[in-house]
Structure 1
């Protein structure tokens, strides 16, 4: 048995995902720290607040409860708490929550940190005005359960913002594999930071995960729209922005990912 097979023997997919992100926490935290230190944080906050103000035009930030689900090292929680929102940061991985607390610094006292499964939230119905997530849904074993859980804890009249991308779908698509190889060539030839070599990335472990999670084979955000409608939402409640990456990604991110995994936004306005 190989070292890889031995490390995953007897583990469920859920356990493999948790183990991967536990090991990745420190390296991923460095990425969030760079975002918080640069201009990207302001770009993200501006785009998020624009959408919040469209739904809650006269409500002050401190009166709005936000759930940052899959917070990782805390990026969304930190920028939103810094803007005055009442934030709960949830993640299934204890190591990620530890990094989030450290990254938050003095703002940690203004954030409620909870270890919780994004696919089975234990908050009461209608707890939050806003539910927000980034780069989480693609990596879940039961993403449809996650959407159902998020909608359940969202108040009537609330706002759901899910930022994600078709991560790793290139492994099943020859054209996308070619595009990815071209991205890697441009990155290398121009001396640009290659995000695929960030600290803590275990390519073998991730390969095993992405071949088992369901969304790797799905075309998104079409899948998201279909799933939300199955959960009872109407067209009027769902809005998709496939160009959001142009507004919030750094130039390095655009070069690394734009050809194969441009980020999209699934925005839900839950009926009153």
Structure 2
């Protein structure tokens, strides 16, 4: 990191995720590790967005392109946007390997510089909880949608420590024989994450009710919260220890679909 006076929180967030790009796809919940999970993601996207049919879609904070490729599978014309060159390098490599015609661009998801009313659908996964100014971001996304266009937010509260999370931490320390300690590099990254989290808008955890309220205030028609993510979580659980799987199933995770009036 740098101490330059013009180095903003947004810059910190970009650089943090850039430094995580190399190992990002190794984590369950980032990349997809089974056909069962892929089918579950396709079902969620189709349920809210309908068939692709060549419609223009924007995957905000696309990272290594996981959601971009799911959208491409469904027949959407896809643009993946991320502020991290390191993440986009991974995304482009996947697209080249698959022969997928996906447009990837380097931009800030809160200030996209894309043309107004140019997208039929916008999708974000695990972006909203990191936003510095969600009100400005939602207004930007609203402006990018065509009349009748839809925004799908897939996110959650990854901050609050419920009893299951505490149980998992105890199990890892006592039953699994782990000390709970990390190496210097891991501790450094954890410190950066905590510092960023303390300064974003949803520092206390992104909750569906608050996000829905902000979307409605932006001008979206009454947002609909979808809690039925169990098929995705069950597929992911097959790759996890039972305490992590239980924690995943009991976290405040959701999808919110909001429509711009046509």
**TM-score normalised by structure 2 residue count:** 0.83
> For each residue in 1:211-252, what CA deviation from the matched residue of structure 2 results, as whole angstroms up to 9, or x when unmatched?
1111022561111122112212343xx1011342x1322113
Query: 1:63 and 2:61 equivalent?
Result: no
CA contact (8 A) 1:187 1:255 kept: no
Other-structure match for 1:151: 142
Other-structure match for 1:19: 15
Match of 2:3 among 9, 23, 31: 9
Shift of 1:114: 0.8
Other-structure match for 1:56: none
CA contact (8 A) 2:62 2:80 kept: yes
Other-structure match for 1:232: 219
Rounded to whole Å, the distance in 1 between the matches of 2:216 and 2:203 is 20
- CA shift in 2, pair 1:147/1:37, >3 Å: same
Match of 1:248 among 232, 237, 240: 232
CA contact (8 A) 1:101 1:108 kept: no
Match of 1:141 among 104, 124, 132: 132
Q: How does 1:141-220 map to 2 (within 5 A)?
A: 141-168=132-159, 170=160, 176=161, 178-186=163-171, 202-217=189-204, 220=207
Rounded to whole Å, the distance in 1 between the matches of 2:190 and 2:90 is 22
Q: Which runs of 5+ in 2 are unaligned?
A: 177-181
Rounded to whole Å, the distance in 2 between the matches of 1:105 and 1:33 is 23
Rounded to whole Å, the distance in 2 between the matches of 1:138 and 1:70 is 12
Other-structure match for 2:93: 102
Q: How does 1:26-41 map to 2 (within 5 A)?
A: 26-31=22-27, 35-38=31-34, 39-41=36-38
Shift of 1:36: 3.5
Shift of 1:106: 3.7
Q: Which runs of 5+ in 1 are unaligned?
A: 1-6, 54-59, 171-175, 192-196
- RMSD, matched Cα: 2.7
- CA shift in 2, pair 1:185/1:258, >3 Å: farther
Q: Secondary structure at the match of 2:258?
A: strand
Rounded to whole Å, the distance in 1 between the matches of 2:174 and 2:99 is 41
- CA shift in 2, pair 1:200/1:51, >3 Å: farther
CA contact (8 A) 1:90 1:115 kept: yes
Match of 2:48 among 23, 46, 51: 51
More helix by share: 1
CA contact (8 A) 1:183 1:257 kept: no
Rounded to whole Å, the distance in 2 between the matches of 1:230 and 1:223 is 11
Other-structure match for 2:79: 88
Rounded to whole Å, the distance in 2 between the matches of 1:182 and 1:255 is 10
Q: Secondary structure at the match of 1:17?
A: helix
> For each residue in 1:129-186, what CA deviation from the matched residue of structure 2 results, as whole angstroms up to 9, or x when unmatched?
1100100111121122211111111111111110001122x2xxxxx36542212234
